[in-house]
């Protein structure tokens, strides 16, 4: 089956525009507010990433950890997230990608099929090592979903080549070692790392971890195909200025 993410990046490539990939924590900050934010973000996004809250965060910085904890306390679950998307995600909305732990995948009944039925186009499973992802990757491919792989600054060149060769949808390029969170300008070594990875593959590279403002996108857009914005958007939602931030980021993407 053709993958929706492949089609989206092919269309963006023809226009020269970069992909804006906002990240939302499912159900945050409240059920009613999440529905409003979901519609606003979908109107600005080329791809929309939704994190399914989990009690044991992986690479999340303090902003997303706090948002996930609040969502869990409010009773947000995978089932409830599916229900919210079924009822409130716009029919003409962008491709959806779930950020989810492998334990949650294993615990869910008919998970990949349910994702397909709820218009989820891809999965990011950060705690599933590339070498152990073959079964889930095959399930996703058969259902028309993409299992998105991650490459970090600490990934060896040989392993990065392996990951790139099996990549689906896009490659999530972690900009810096450490946890997520807004930061200042990116250092020269980050640019060098992105250029080095770009030389290894023609797959779309989408940069995450620390992308928080339009200046970041302008700094990195020569080498990347998309930009994932998480902590900065969560902060903007808390302050009621998500539309302003999304408009600025969208303009920087071209």
Which active-site residues does the annotation give?
49, 60
- 3-state DSSP assignment of residue 62: helix
**pLDDT score recorded for residue 184:** 62
In Å, what is the CA distance from 119 to each residue of 23, 32, 163, 181, 238? 17, 21, 25, 28, 27
What is the rounded CA–CA span in Å between residue 90 and residue 55? 29
Whether the predicted pLDDT of 125 surpasses 90: yes
Element holding 73 (H helix, E strand): helix 62-73
Specify which residues 50 forms β-bridges with: 24, 98
pLDDT tens for residues 15-42? 999 999 999 999 999 999 999 999 999 9
Exposed (0-12), middle (13-18) or buried (19+): which is 235, by Cβ within 10 Å? middle
Domain spans in the chain, listed from the N-terminal domain onward: 4-247
CATH number attached to the domain at 4-247? 3.20.20.70
List the one residue out of 99, 98, 78, 171 whose CA is nearest residue 130.
171
CB neighbours (10 Å) of residue 171? 25
**pLDDT score recorded for residue 180:** 46
**pLDDT score recorded for residue 57:** 59
Average pLDDT over residues 233-247: 98
Average pLDDT over residues 214-229: 95
What average pLDDT does the structure give for the chain?
92
pTM of the model: 0.94
Which residues, 6 or more positions from 69, have their beta carbon under 8 angstroms from its beta carbon? Answer: 53
**pLDDT score recorded for residue 168:** 93
pLDDT tens for residues 151-205? 999 999 999 999 999 999 999 999 876 444 445 678 888 889 999 999 999 999 9
Specify which residues 226 forms β-bridges with: 19, 206
Q: Nearest-5° angle of CA 206, CA 14, CA 254?
A: 60
Average pLDDT over residues 67-87: 96
For residue 55, name the pLDDT band (cuts at 50, 70, 90).
confident
Whether the predicted pLDDT of 2 surpasses 80: no
**pLDDT score recorded for residue 177:** 60
In Å, what is the CA distance from 155 to each residue of 125, 130, 164? 17, 11, 12
pLDDT tens for residues 88-105? 999 999 999 999 999 999
**pLDDT score recorded for residue 60:** 62
Residues for the chain: how many in total? 254
Chain CA centroid to CA 109, Å: 23
**pLDDT score recorded for residue 61:** 73
**pLDDT score recorded for residue 181:** 44
Q: 193: which 2 tokens? A: 């790392």
**pLDDT score recorded for residue 83:** 97
For strands 96-99 and 171-174, give the pairing: unpaired
For residue 133, name the pLDDT band (cuts at 50, 70, 90).
very high
Q: 125: which 2 tokens? A: 């499973």
What is the rounded CA–CA span in Å between residue 232 and residue 63? 9
Cβ contact 18:227 at 8 Å: yes
């Amino acid at each position: 089956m053709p993958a929706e993410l492949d089609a989206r990046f092919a269309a963006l490539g023809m226009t020269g525009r970069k992909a804006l990939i906002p990240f939302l924590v499912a159900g945050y900050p409240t059920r009613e507010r999440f529905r409003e934010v979901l519609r606003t973000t979908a109107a600005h996004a080329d791809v929309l990433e939704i994190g399914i809250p989990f009690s044991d965060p992986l690479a999340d910085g303090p902003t997303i950890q706090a948002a996930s904890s609040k969502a869990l306390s409010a009773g947000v679950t995978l089932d409830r997230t599916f229900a919210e998307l079924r009822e409130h995600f716009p029919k003409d909305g962008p491709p959806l990608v779930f950020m989810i732990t492998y334990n949650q995948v294993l615990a869910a009944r008919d998970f990949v099929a349910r994702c397909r039925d709820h218009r989820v186009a891809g999965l990011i499973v950060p705690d599933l090592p590339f070498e152990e992802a073959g079964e889930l990757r095959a399930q996703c491919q058969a259902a028309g979903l993409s299992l998105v792989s991650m490459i970090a600054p600490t990934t060896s060149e040989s392993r990065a080549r392996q990951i790139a060769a099996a990549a689906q949808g896009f490659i999530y390029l972690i900009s810096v070692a450490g946890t997520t969170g807004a930061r200042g300008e990116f250092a020269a070594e980050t640019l060098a790392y992105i250029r080095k990875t770009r030389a290894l593959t023609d797959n779309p590279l989408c940069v995450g971890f620390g992308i928080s403002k339009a200046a970041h996108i302008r700094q990195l857009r020569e080498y990347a195909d998309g930009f994932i914005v998480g902590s900065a958007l969560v902060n903007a939602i808390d302050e009621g200025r998500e539309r302003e931030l999304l408009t600025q980021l969208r303009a920087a993407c071209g």
